[in-house]
Amino acid sequence: MIHKLFTWIRVQEPFNAEPPRAALISSYVTPVDFFYKRNHGPIPIVDDIERYHVSIDGLVKKPVQLSMADIRKLPKYNVTATLQCAGNRRTAMSKTRTVKGVGWDAAALGNAIWGGAKLSDVLELVGISKLATVTSFGGKHVEFISVDKCKEENGGPYKASIPLGQATNPEADVLLAYEMNGEVLNRDHGYPLRVVVPGVIGARSVKWLDKINVIQEECQGFFMQKDYKMFPPSVNWDNINWSTRRPQMDFPVQCAICSLEDVDYVKQGKITVAGYAVSGGGRGIERVDISADGGKTWVEAQRHQKGSEPYVSDDMNGDKWAWVLFKAVVEIPGNAEVIAKAADIFCVILLYGQVDSAANVQPENVADIWNLRGILNTSWHRVRVINAL
Residues that bind ligand MTE (CB under 6 A): 35-40, 83, 85, 146, 148, 158, 189, 202-203, 205-208
As measured in angstroms, the least distance from the Cβ of 37 to ligand MTE is 4
Regarding 54 and contact with Mo ion (CB under 5 A), the answer is no
Partner whose binding site includes residue 379, from Mo ion, ligand MTE, none (CB under 5 to 8 Å by kind): none
Q: Which residue is nearest to ligand MTE (CB)?
A: 202
Question: Hey, how many other C-beta atoms are within 10 angstroms of the C-beta on 3?
Answer: 12
As measured in angstroms, the least distance from the Cβ of 205 to Mo ion is 9
Which residue stretch of 84-92, 212-220, 297-305, 340-348 sits at the interface with Mo ion (rule: CB under 5 A)? 84-92
Cα torsion 147, 213, 227, 82: sign: positive
Partner whose binding site includes residue 40, from Mo ion, ligand MTE, none (CB under 5 to 8 Å by kind): ligand MTE
- Give Cα separations from 37 to 17, 47, 83, 89, 274 (angstroms): 5, 20, 11, 15, 23
Regarding 266 and contact with Mo ion (CB under 5 A), the answer is no
Collect all residues with Cβ–Cβ distance below 8 Å to 21 and sequence separation of at least 6: 105, 106, 107, 256, 258, 261
**Distance separating alpha carbons of residues 191 and 193, to the nearest angstrom:** 5
Near Mo ion by CB under 5 A: residue from 24, 43, 85, 383: 85
DSSP state of 165: H
Question: Torsion-angle region of residue 269: left (phi > 0), alpha (psi -120 to 50) or beta?
Answer: left
Q: Which is nearer to ligand MTE, 222 or 380 (CB)?
A: 222
Number of shown-chain residues binding Mo ion (CB under 5 A): 4
Regarding 139 and contact with Mo ion (CB under 5 A), the answer is no
Q: Which is nearer to ligand MTE, 157 or 301 (CB)?
A: 157
Near Mo ion by CB under 5 A: residue from 58, 202, 281, 318: 202
Task: Tell how far CA 388 is from the center of its chain.
Answer: 36
Element at 73 (helix H, strand E)? helix 68-73
Q: Which is nearer to ligand MTE, 84 or 135 (CB)?
A: 84
As measured in angstroms, the least distance from the Cβ of 158 to ligand MTE is 4
**Distance separating alpha carbons of residues 164 and 142, to the nearest angstrom:** 6
The total number of residues shown for the chain amounts to 389
Binding site for Mo ion (CB under 5 A): 38, 85, 202-203
